[in-house]
């Protein structure tokens, strides 16, 4: 990892590639919006250190789809801290990526959401199609998108280049806003820890529904 990844005072906006298994098939691709400024922008690994990634990795770990270093228990959930410690997750049967592959920023200091023209640009769609072609050769069965932006981007991509063999499933983003959106009465009276647990259970179910072998089946 480049030493520049430790520069926590600025947004790097360097491309973050997919997290892939070292070997074996890839059953499901899980896709978020873009690398976060304190997470994947610093760790170079999708969702690793991003606020949303904590719940995603926990859900995938329950399935045996990822293995997290035990040293994480002694560190803040922070991409720069993970890079400094030389830590990274290991994927099994899943790939993790983003609809936009770099942390968006206009000044290198402040994060902004990726805009639609960036997400649906020829460059970005070429990248996404290239990644999907690679994963299809590894046995890809389905895609799980997290949040409205990732879902809309892949819906538009598949209108241009359909991939009918892939199962497509969408989940709310595991941010506080996304968690509240999936709760009855917009989460009124609910505890955030309960909403997080419900999201993780739903995430695990959706990843299986998209094509990941259920835990009782043969492991990857």
pLDDT digit string (tens) for 129-164? Answer: 999 999 999 999 999 999 999 999 999 999 999 999
Identify the sign of the CA torsion 178, 183, 187, 193: negative
CA-to-CA distance for 20 and 94, rounded, in angstroms?
7
pLDDT at position 3 is 40
At residue 1, does pLDDT exceed 80?
A: no
pLDDT confidence of 189, banded at 50, 70, 90?
Answer: low
CA-to-CA distance for 198 and 193, rounded, in angstroms?
9
pLDDT at position 186 is 62
20 forms beta bridges with: none
At residue 101, does pLDDT exceed 70?
A: yes
- The pair of structure tokens assigned to 13 is 């906006």
Q: Which of 167, 172, 220, 177 is nearest to 200 (CA)?
A: 172
- The pair of structure tokens assigned to 203 is 């995430």
pLDDT at position 52 is 85
- Look at 3-12, 28-37, 59-68, 202-211 and tell me which has the smallest mean pLDDT: 3-12
pLDDT digits (tens, 9 = 90+) for 52-83: 899 999 999 999 999 999 999 999 999 999 99
Question: Cβ distance 75 to 65 under 8 Å?
Answer: no
Angle between the 122-136 and 148-160 helix axes, to the nearest 10 degrees? 80
At residue 194, does pLDDT exceed 50?
A: yes
Identify the sign of the CA torsion 123, 142, 98, 79: negative
Tell me what the mean pLDDT of segment 1-19 comes to. Answer: 74
pLDDT confidence of 188, banded at 50, 70, 90?
Answer: low
């Amino acid at each position: 990892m480049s030493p520049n990844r430790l520069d926590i005072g600025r947004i790097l906006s360097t491309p973050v590639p997919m997290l892939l298994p070292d070997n074996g098939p890839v059953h499901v691709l899980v896709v978020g919006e873009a690398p976060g400024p304190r997470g994947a922008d610093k760790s170079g690994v999708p969702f690793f250190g991003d606020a949303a990634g904590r719940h995603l990795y926990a859900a995938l770990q329950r399935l045996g789809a990822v293995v997290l270093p035990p040293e994480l228990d002694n560190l803040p959930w922070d991409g720069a801290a993970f890079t400094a410690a030389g830590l990274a997750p290991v994927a099994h049967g899943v790939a993790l990526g983003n609809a936009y592959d770099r942390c968006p920023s206009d000044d290198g200091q402040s994060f902004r959401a990726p805009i639609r023209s960036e997400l649906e640009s020829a460059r970005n769609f070429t990248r996404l199609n290239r990644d999907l072609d690679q994963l299809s050769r590894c046995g890809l069965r389905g895609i799980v998108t997290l949040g409205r932006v990732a879902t809309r981007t892949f819906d538009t991509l598949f209108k241009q280049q359909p991939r009918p063999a892939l199962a497509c499933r969408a989940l709310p983003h595991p941010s506080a806003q996304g968690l509240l959106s999936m709760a009855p009465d917009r989460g009124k009276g609910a505890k955030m820890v309960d909403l997080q647990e419900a999201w993780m259970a739903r995430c695990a179910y959706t990843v299986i529904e998209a094509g990941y072998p259920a835990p009782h089946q043969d492991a990857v």
